[in-house]
């Protein structure tokens, strides 16, 4: 099967590319290498895939490409590309969020409609929620991700595009974006710097390991029937930020120097996935324990940090 992965060099996208290739699928990956974090980090994410004959990489924006060429013989689109970051979405860069989270989704859905793509999998976010059962975004970023969900539903209803939205919760693991909690914590350990926590740290989050999330994503793309219009993808349990960091301290063998930013964007007080749809529609549930997952991420961080360290 030939697939398209947008955001292919990102945290989740690169893991998805690797797994699709391992399963024998042909993958076209596209990434714009925006300046949210270093291009070299993203290039390292797809270094292994670049040597695989079943992988073709396109550098650029979805808006810059000829969709007929990009979607040639594609059966499933995994649309993971987007403008990340909750805090930054409140600032002057909101037009980037509209372009990369809303307009790009509309562009790909139109292409999927015209080319008769079998399945369109859209990476949404738990940021569409104000609380576990209340869909009411608390940030402009969340608004744009919810808009993408609505576009998927519209194209399914009006044009029969087989589109499903996956609401990813707090994903962690190797290659995690440098702005995310555990990646920041591990960098602070390596650089002996304080770790800034937004809010009071008592807010709870649903942490799920990236390889588990990739399996759910592929299941949504390959299932014979459209699983559901929108599905929560997470562990189904919540852990406070402070408890998660306490677990990570044991793995790293350090005590974090925590600094609390009461004015920072901490999001909802509680965030937890309802995994019932994922279990019933995809036959999927998260299986990696936080201890094992954080251990793997820390080992990857140490290896990457050692690799980047300049020679003395």
Encoding tokens for residue 25?
């699928």
pLDDT (mean) for 18-35: 95
Q: Measure the CA–CA gap between 128 and 137, rounded to whole angstroms.
A: 4
Q: Is residue 202 pLDDT above 50, yes or no?
A: yes
Question: Is 170-208+235-273+288-312 a domain of CATH 3.40.50.300?
Answer: no
Average pLDDT, whole number, for the chain?
94
Which residues are marked as active site?
141
Kindly indicate the confidence band of residue 309, based on its pLDDT and cuts at 50, 70 and 90.
very low
Is the whole-model pTM more than 0.85?
Answer: yes
pLDDT (mean) for 293-297: 98
Q: Residue 6 pairs with which residues in a beta bridge? A: 30, 79
Task: Give the model confidence (pLDDT) of 253-294 as tens digits.
Answer: 999 999 998 776 668 999 999 999 999 999 999 999 999 999
Q: Measure the CA–CA gap between 207 and 212, rounded to whole angstroms.
A: 11
Q: What percent of the chain has pLDDT over 90?
A: 85
């Amino acid at each position: 099967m030939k697939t398209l992965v947008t955001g292919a060099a990102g945290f989740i996208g690169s893991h998805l590319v690797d797994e699709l290739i391992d399963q024998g699928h042909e993958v076209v990956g596209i990434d714009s290498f925006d300046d949210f974090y270093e291009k070299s980090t993203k290039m390292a994410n797809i270094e292994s895939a670049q040597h695989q004959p079943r992988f073709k990489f396109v550098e650029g924006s979805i808006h810059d490409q000829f969709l007929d060429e990009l979607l040639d013989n594609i059966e499933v689109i995994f649309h993971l590309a987007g403008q990340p970051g909750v805090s930054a979405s409140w600032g002057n860069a909101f037009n980037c969020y509209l372009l990369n989270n809303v307009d790009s989704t509309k562009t790909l859905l139109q292409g999927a409609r015209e080319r008769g793509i079998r399945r369109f999998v859209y990476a949404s976010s738990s940021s569409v929620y104000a609380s576990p059962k209340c869909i009411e975004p608390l940030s402009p970023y969340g608004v744009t991700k919810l808009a993408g969900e609505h576009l998927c539903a519209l194209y399914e209803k009006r044009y029969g595009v087989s589109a499903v939205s996956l609401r990813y919760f707090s994903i962690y693991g190797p290659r995690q974006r440098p702005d995310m909690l555990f990646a920041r914590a591990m960098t602070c350990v390596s650089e002996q710097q304080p770790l800034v926590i937004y809010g009071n740290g008592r807010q709870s989050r649903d942490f799920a390991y990236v390889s588990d999330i990739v399996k759910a994503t592929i299941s949504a793309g390959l299932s014979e029937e459209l699983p559901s219009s929108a599905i929560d993808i997470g562990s189904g349990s919540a852990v406070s930020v402070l408890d998660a960091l306490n677990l990570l301290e044991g793995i790293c063998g350090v005590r974090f120097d925590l600094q609390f930013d009461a004015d920072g964007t901490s999001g909802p007080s509680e965030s937890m996935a309802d995994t019932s749809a994922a279990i019933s529609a995809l036959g999927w549930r998260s299986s990696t324990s936080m201890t094992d997952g954080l251990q793997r991420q820390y080992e990857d961080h140490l290896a990457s940090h050692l690799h980047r360290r300049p020679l003395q």
